[in-house]
Structure 1
Amino acid sequence: MATTVSARIATTANFWGDLPENEYYKSQGVRNSKSYFETPNGKIFTQSFLPITNTDTPIKGTVFMTHGVRKSEEYKDLPAFLFGESMGGMISMVMYFQSEAEMWTGFILSAPLIVIPQPMIPSKVHLFAYGLLFGLADTWAAMPDNKMVGKAVKDMEKLKIIAGNPRRYSGRPRIGTMREVVRVTNYIQDNFDKVTVPFLTCHGTSDGLTCPTGSEMLYEKASSVDKTLKLYEGMYHSLIQGEPDESANLVLGDMRAWIDERVQIYGSKCDTRA
């Protein structure tokens, strides 16, 4: 009898098996490092993945930069692309709007949360009422729970792995979080026309967590000359982690082809906003 994914998770050190962490990442062609930062609000965990390269395969560009990497001496002249998935797509859009004019060469979004699906839109009356408590209710997990994971992941074996993640938040959405999501998505929609850099936005037509219409609106309203919209028929929200391998590889292949072409077109020290 074949071993189930849930049983395998319970008997192995990591979801990929018993291979030591550094050896696993090396097999994937990356160097992995972890760090922790103490803040007034607690400890923050970070993890980085850098490509293993040699002089024969130089780095062509950087994808999603943070903690000063974008402006570091080693990488500052390379093309720079933001990447954001789901709520990360929403955050990437805000980063783009708030960055210096020549900071980013372009961006890729995967199922970005820039339009909230109708069943998930919180009641304005409820948000207003909670707001009368002057922030006291912001941490309350009191928003409607729409069981989002099942709507995001199509491959059932991968769903078992994702649902078994002990770090995954499984409670109801918090009031303060939903208030900010509403505010920020409205801000992004009001500023679609200010997008001028090249971008690729991808969405599954059966996404039950974020609206494909968000990607369509961005494509239609952005001022960018170089813009691409990819809609994947029947795919769910998690295009990369949650689809069967064949579908996920199709999406990754499209992203890779797009970014390789833009690196060739725009090169280093480009001004894509002119």
Structure 2
Amino acid sequence: MASESAEQKPETPPNFWGDMPEDEYYASQGVKNSQSYFETPNGKLFTQSFLPLDKQVKATVYMTHGYGSDTGWLFQKICIHFSTWGYAVFAADLLGHGRSDGLRCYMGDMEKIAATSLSFFKHVRYSEEYKDLPAFLFGESMGGLATMLMYFQSEPTTWTGLMFSAPLFVIPEPMKPSKLHLFAYGLLFGLADTWAAMPDNKMVGKAIKDPEKLKIIASNPRRYAGKPRVGTMREIARVCQYIQDNFSKVTAPFLTVHGTADGVTCPSSSKLLYEKASSEDKSLKIYEGMYHSLIQGEPDENADIVLKDMREWIDERVERYGSN
């Protein structure tokens, strides 16, 4: 009986689309994918590029995924969409995520984590092939927090524009780490910083509206499903406050999008950025009834609305600022 039940348990396919070889799948989507490791002083980053097969590259986009995720599985669908529009897309698994080095989902020093991804992004951005093209940073969820840190760590002229999908700048009340917990663990002189001991609020269920897509996302073998680490929650709370205090220093053109039914990051994250940023060219889109994962987790008809808005925004900025 044991062997029979073992046979019945479906194996996770190597990719969300099943067993089709990667080259075939990417070619069927109209993109060329390459994967490599980028050496940094803080450890190796797993990186990917998505290049359009049949279009001239008009700009580069540098994408950062959210908490517990990686650049593969369903996140890469965002990368593929942008690539089919004529963009060269580069993405890196954050330290502690996916196939990059680091303790799983430990975000104890987000400035360092952001700087590590930024070192790869700038390496590509200033390469001979791409240095004269417009360049955009893109961050989803907690990746938006890391992306904003990367922006603050860069020279003002480095990036043509910024794009945020449901960024984490304001933590919703149910997600906030208990000050009492953080204080108690803080008394252990940092020993508890890496402990996976904070309450888990089952974020995935609050992020994904489409039940079939929820199943696919939950089956990602590289997704972190453990409890949040003490230092991660401490650091996210600190960096959110830091970003809120520095919204006015944002001067680059940006688009930020959020769903009103987001149970993981507050829509006020996008609204406050829009209100307080000093950028002359800024755009905010709020989608009624949509959840947190606007592209990966909504029904296709909703995701298509968001993608259409993103495409129109970035195409227009390439047109507007491309010759600068």
TM-score normalised by structure 2 residue count: 0.76
Which residue number corresponds to residue 62 of structure 1?
Answer: 60
Which residue number corresponds to residue 244 of structure 1?
Answer: 299
Give, in angstroms, the shift of residue 183 of structure 1.
Answer: 1.0
Residues 150-177 of structure 1: CA deviation (Å, up to 9, x unaligned): 0000000000011111111111110010
Does residue 29 of structure 1 match 2:55? Answer: no
Query: Residues 11 and 218 from structure 1, CA distance in 2 versus in 1: closer, same or farther, beyond 3 angstroms?
Result: closer
Paired amino acid for 1:117: P
Please give the alpha-carbon distance, in whole angstroms, between the structure 2 residues aligned to 1:8 and 1:49: 33
Please give the alpha-carbon distance, in whole angstroms, between the structure 2 residues aligned to 1:135 and 1:37: 30
Please give the alpha-carbon distance, in whole angstroms, between the structure 2 residues aligned to 1:46 and 1:81: 17
Residues 41-63 of structure 1: CA deviation (Å, up to 9, x unaligned): 8764333322224xxx3211111
Which residue number corresponds to residue 48 of structure 2?
Answer: 47
Aligned-pair identity in percent equals 74
Structure (1 or 2) with the larger CA radius of gyration:
1
2:315 to 256, 260, 269: 260
CA contact (8 A) 1:154 1:236 kept: yes
Please give the alpha-carbon distance, in whole angstroms, between the structure 2 residues aligned to 1:132 and 1:11: 42
- SS for the counterpart of 2:301 is helix
Please give the alpha-carbon distance, in whole angstroms, between the structure 1 residues aligned to 2:301 and 2:214: 16
Residues 135-158 of structure 1: CA deviation (Å, up to 9, x unaligned): 211111111110000000000000
Query: Residues 8 and 235 from structure 1, CA distance in 2 versus in 1: closer, same or farther, beyond 3 angstroms?
Result: farther
Which residue number corresponds to residue 194 of structure 2?
Answer: 139
Query: Residues 41 and 95 from structure 1, CA distance in 2 versus in 1: closer, same or farther, beyond 3 angstroms?
Result: closer
Paired amino acid for 2:314: I
Point out the more displaced range, 194-203 or 65-74.
Answer: 65-74
Which residue number corresponds to residue 77 of structure 1?
Answer: 132
Q: How does 1:12-27 map to 2 (within 5 A)?
A: 13-27=14-28
Point out the more displaced range, 184-193 or 41-50.
Answer: 41-50
Residues 37-94 of structure 1: CA deviation (Å, up to 9, x unaligned): 57788764333322224xxx32111111551111111111111111000010111111
* Count of aligned pairs: 260
CA contact (8 A) 1:120 1:144 kept: no
- SS for the counterpart of 2:125 is coil
- SS for the counterpart of 2:136 is strand
Query: Residues 225 and 174 from structure 1, CA distance in 2 versus in 1: closer, same or farther, beyond 3 angstroms?
Result: same
Which residue number corresponds to residue 177 of structure 1?
Answer: 232
Please give the alpha-carbon distance, in whole angstroms, between the structure 2 residues aligned to 1:17 and 1:114: 35
Paired amino acid for 1:182: A
Which residue number corresponds to residue 3 of structure 1?
Answer: none
Gaps of 5+ in 2: 1-7, 63-89, 91-117
Paired amino acid for 2:61: V
TM-score normalised by structure 1 residue count: 0.89
